[in-house]
């Protein structure tokens, strides 16, 4: 039977519960255990698919088509275990399913209540499909004390009792702030946070204390005394120089040892952390440096492009190169006084990422043109590929009014709404004006690559599978015109109807993809497209 680790947070949000869960999963995995990590989100949205990136950061998409929390990206990158639909649940999804059951009469006339119906549904989610793993790590979103998270906290309290106390461990993250006026760290917020948690029936077994400096031994002893935990179970968590140093840092502080001790496991092998040491060696001892410009519309919030940011770092790891990222607001390039060349000339590579809506689109198209004309390595992802096709249509194929139906009616719909496509479940159909949530082409789909293409040489295969999240697609009816303009359609869906990859044969490195390769990149297994893009940028940097 799987053992469960429940991760909660207190005092403030953004203490790093996701990285804690991912790092702990990686450490247990390094000891030979099989792990699965799950996220409970207390908001009322069914999933984050309709939420603005400025509200919630990026939407992470799994192979099976779940639009999920960005923390699932951390889980996958740190453990290499592909997340599933069943690894992320929200209050909205729980209530939707309960109301559907009630309408069907499944509760046989009972009054439907938070306890036991909501808590039972949460517990069912937590334990589903866990027979093949040793540990399940369940991260509870939000902050202890928030009204939204109360049903989840109550559910994990019940679940630990259901499983038997030896099969459940609580890890609580808190903040130990430095008060400059007093010249000392303050433990009181941690004490109050633990008191709040214990008032809900949960006594934490391990405390992870976020600090911006060393936590004195006297403060660890004080926290242990007032919070009723062993002193060795008070784990300091200092800011790390890279998120990929966090597993090594937590192991050095004894996090995985304390969790195993709480389970009564004292014979676990020492973790093999060689690959994490190798990652840090590559970060610390790089042999080159590049600057990549990301021309997007959500650049004010780095979490909006979290997986993209990490995939670029992974591309650097593959080439032992330091990657400096410049976040450029595409909308600024649309102003009459914009100096495009001044912003883009210093770059060794230009990347136009995905997004939705018309804002900033002309700035993205201008960036594509700059990269094409100046022979700067270019990578277009999702909307970025579509903008590359529109730019090619306007400037090389003679289609001056080329645009996308996403931005309104156009006489030349080089990009249009996809209304149907084939999946493993059969024909999928969508209509304009339908619901937005969960109605895109989502999840992993196969593609076939032209054997003589650049991308086939990068992938070292002509059959690939990549994750998608989009409603609009390059119109295959414009293929001949675009290819005459030098844009090769080098990747297509198996039925030949949906363009997946375009590239330019007259350019050192110019690739656009309809899917999101960043979602499958790992620090110890960088995605080949990002590795190739950074290599091209590195080659350009050495020519300057």
According to the 3-state scheme, what is the secondary structure of 133-164?
A: CCEEEEEECCCCCCHHHHHHHHHHHHHHHHHC
Q: Are 18 and 7 in contact (CB under 8 A)?
A: no
Single out the residue of 177, 260, 191, 250 nearest to residue 5, CA to CA: 260
Single out the residue of 18, 90, 86 nearest to residue 47, CA to CA: 90
Q: Are 139 and 71 in contact (CB under 8 A)?
A: yes
Residues contacting 247, CB < 8 A, separation 6+: 23, 26, 27, 30, 78, 273, 276
Rounded Cα distance, 160 and 170, in Å: 9
According to the 3-state scheme, what is the secondary structure of 347-360?
A: CCEEEECCCCCCCC
Select which of 348, 382, 466, 500 is catalytic: 382
518 in active site: yes
Rounded Cα distance, 9 and 2, in Å: 23
Rounded Cα distance, 115 and 93, in Å: 17
Per-residue tokens: 148 = 């939204």
Single out the residue of 135, 169, 128, 132 nearest to residue 30, CA to CA: 135
DSSP string, 369-423: HHHHHHT--EEEETHHHHHHHHHHHHHTSS-TTEEEGGGS--SEEEEEE--EEEE
Select which of 310, 466, 518, 527 is catalytic: 518
516 in active site: yes
Select which of 117, 172, 468, 516 is catalytic: 516
According to the 3-state scheme, what is the secondary structure of 30-99?
A: HCCCCEEEEEEECCCCCCHHHCCHHHHCCCEECCCCCEECCHHHHHHHHHCCCCCHHHEEEHHHHHHHHH
Residues contacting 305, CB < 8 A, separation 6+: 58, 294, 296, 298, 299, 327, 353
Rounded Cα distance, 37 and 137, in Å: 5
Provide the 10 A C-beta neighbour count for residue 390: 27
Residues contacting 410, CB < 8 A, separation 6+: 401, 402, 403, 404
Per-residue tokens: 191 = 């004490």
Give me Rg for the CA atoms of the chain: 25
Residues with a catalytic annotation lie at: 382, 516, 518
């Amino acid at each position: 039977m799987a053992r469960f680790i429940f991760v909660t947070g207190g005092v403030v949000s953004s203490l790093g519960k996701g990285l804690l869960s991912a790092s702990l999963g990686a450490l247990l995995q390094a000891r030979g255990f099989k792990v699965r990590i799950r996220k409970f989100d207390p908001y009322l949205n069914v999933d984050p698919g309709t939420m603005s990136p400025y509200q919630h950061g990026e939407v992470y998409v799994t192979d099976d088509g779940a639009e999920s929390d960005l923390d699932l990206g951390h889980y996958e990158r740190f453990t290499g275990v592909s997340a599933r639909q069943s690894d992320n649940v929200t209050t909205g999804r729980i209530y939707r399913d309960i109301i559907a059951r009630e309408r069907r009469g499944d509760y046989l006339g009972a009054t439907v209540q938070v306890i036991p119906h909501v808590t039972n549904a949460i517990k069912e989610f937590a334990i589903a499909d866990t027979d093949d793993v040793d540990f399940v790590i369940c991260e509870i979103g939000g902050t202890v004390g928030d009204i939204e998270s109360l049903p989840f906290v109550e559910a994990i309290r019940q679940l630990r009792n259901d499983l038997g106390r030896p099969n459940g461990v609580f890890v609580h993250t808190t903040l130990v702030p430095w008060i400059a006026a007093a010249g000392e760290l303050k433990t009181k917020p941690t004490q109050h946070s633990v008191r709040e948690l214990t008032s809900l029936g949960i006594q934490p077994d391990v405390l992870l204390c976020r600090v911006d400096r060393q936590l004195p031994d006297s403060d660890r002893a004080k926290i242990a005394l007032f919070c009723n935990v062993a002193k060795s179970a008070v784990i300091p968590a200092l800011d790390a120089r890279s998120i990929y140093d966090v597993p090594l840092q937590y192991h050095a502080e004894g996090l995985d040892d304390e969790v195993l001790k709480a389970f009564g496991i004292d014979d676990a092998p020492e973790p093999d952390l060689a690959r994490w040491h190798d990652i840090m060696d590559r970060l610390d001892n790089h042999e080159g440096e590049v600057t990549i410009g990301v021309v997007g519309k959500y650049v004010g919030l780095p979490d909006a492009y979290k997986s993209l940011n990490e995939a670029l770092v992974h591309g650097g790891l593959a080439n032992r190169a330091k990657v400096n990222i410049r976040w450029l607001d595409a909308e600024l390039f649309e102003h009459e006084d914009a100096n495009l060349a001044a912003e883009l000339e210093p770059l060794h590579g230009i990347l136009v990422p995905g997004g939705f809506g018309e804002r900033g689109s002309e700035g993205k198209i201008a960036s594509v043109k700059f990269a094409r004309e100046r022979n700067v390595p270019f990578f277009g992802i999702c909307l970025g590929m579509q903008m590359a096709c529109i730019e090619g249509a306007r400037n090389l194929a003679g289609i001056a009014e080329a645009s996308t139906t996403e931005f309104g009616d156009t006489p030349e719909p080089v990009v249009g709404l996809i209304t149907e496509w084939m999946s493993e479940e059969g024909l999928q159909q969508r209509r304009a004006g339908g619901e937005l949530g969960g109605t895109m082409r989502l999840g992993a789909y196969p593609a076939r690559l032209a054997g003589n293409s650049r991308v086939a040489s990068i992938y070292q295969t002509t059959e690939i599978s990549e994750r998608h999240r989009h409603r609009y697609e390059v119109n295959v009816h414009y293929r001949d015109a675009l290819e005459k303009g030098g844009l090769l359609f080098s990747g297509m869906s198996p039925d030949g109807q949906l363009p997946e990859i375009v590239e330019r044969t007259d350019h050192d490195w110019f690739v656009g993809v309809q899917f999101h390769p960043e979602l499958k990149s790992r620090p110890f297994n960088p995605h080949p497209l990002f590795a190739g893009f950074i290599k091209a940028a590195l080659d350009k940097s050495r020519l300057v």
